[in-house]
Chain A
């Protein structure tokens, strides 16, 4: 459900920057979380937040209020992050990142809030072998907790493709865990 009212959106569509500040304040954390989990780089994640919000501002005139604003923003952010993922040469996780991962698995109190660098290290170690598309689907479903219908809307992939990407992703992750000695 959207937190932003149609009145605020209308004001944004009429060029009201103070109304748009509300949109940025509401959704920047969501975009940052998605980008950080996908790109595993804090600075790049902030760049994606900035680019996403500028695109939202420039295209809000075309936004249809019948669609969810949250899903629309997710779609823009996802495309920008995926472009970066595809352009980038993915490197193997560093030994110290695997060390973070091992410590996290061994911890008894796993509910403690991880620092960003710890979270990045753990995710990088876990999803290292996934293709950009598998990473995207996996992140949206397992980390962002979105429904298949929402993922379909955001990625333009049908339900079968989402399922198959998730299946391969989970299989790859299990192999990765096995390699690290945890399954």
Chain B
């Protein structure tokens, strides 16, 4: 064993002396601040369920809105020309349309406002 290891071995056996341990302990205990309040942990399961519910509600909302805009029940018996004429007499071209698709195409070609398209759809709806 070399000199360094010899010294280190001897020193590792030396324990520093804390002669006033009780006083130090009392001083620590007297100076303890109040513990911070622990935030109550939210249940993981509860978080998961509320997340899924929120996502499902959002999806449902999107589907409902989309469907209400797209769903246009069309009657085969309807006289499209008459309907168009009654709805928008100023658009003479549209009164020649013989189907909803044709009327919509014409509206689109003429770059009419979107509100007009919705109104047209309403007009053809049963």
> Which residues of A does B touch, CB under 8 Å?
15, 17, 20-21, 24-25, 28-29, 32-33, 36-37, 45-46, 49-50, 53-54, 57-58, 60-61, 105, 110-111, 113-116, 119, 122-123, 126, 142-143, 145, 170, 173-174, 177, 182-183
B50 within 8 A of A: no
Q: What residues on A are CB-neighbors of B12 within 8 Å?
A: 142-143, 145
Q: What residues on A are CB-neighbors of B28 within 8 Å?
A: 24, 28, 49-50, 53-54
A33/B15 contact (C-beta < 8 A), A21-B25, A174-B4, A183-B2 known: yes
- A28 pairs with B25, CB closer than 8 A: yes
A24/B35 contact (C-beta < 8 A), A113-B14, A119-B14, A126-B7 known: no
B17 within 8 A of A: yes
How far is B35's CA from A116's CA once the two chains are assembled, in angstroms? Answer: 34
Of all chain A residues, which has the CB nearest B20? Answer: A46
Closest 4 pairs (CB-CB, A-B): A36-B16, A110-B10, A53-B28, A32-B18
Q: Mark B16-32, 1 if CB is under 8 A from A, else 0.
A: 11100100110111011
Q: What residues on A are CB-neighbors of B36 within 8 Å?
A: 58, 61
- A57 pairs with B18, CB closer than 8 A: no
How far is B6's CA from A142's CA once the two chains are assembled, in angstroms? Answer: 12
B110 within 8 A of A: no
- B35 pairs with A15, CB closer than 8 A: yes
How far is B64's CA from A144's CA once the two chains are assembled, in angstroms? Answer: 70
How far is B17's CA from A29's CA once the two chains are assembled, in angstroms? Answer: 8
A115/B17 contact (C-beta < 8 A), A58-B35, A173-B4, A183-B2 known: yes
Q: What residues on B are CB-neighbors of A25 within 8 Å?
A: 21, 25
Of all chain A residues, which has the CB nearest B13? Answer: A111
B90 within 8 A of A: no
Minimum CB–CB distance from A74 to chain B (whole Å) comes to 15
- B4 pairs with A20, CB closer than 8 A: no
- B32 pairs with A123, CB closer than 8 A: no
Q: A29's contact among B8, B18, B35, by CB below 8 Å, is which?
A: B18
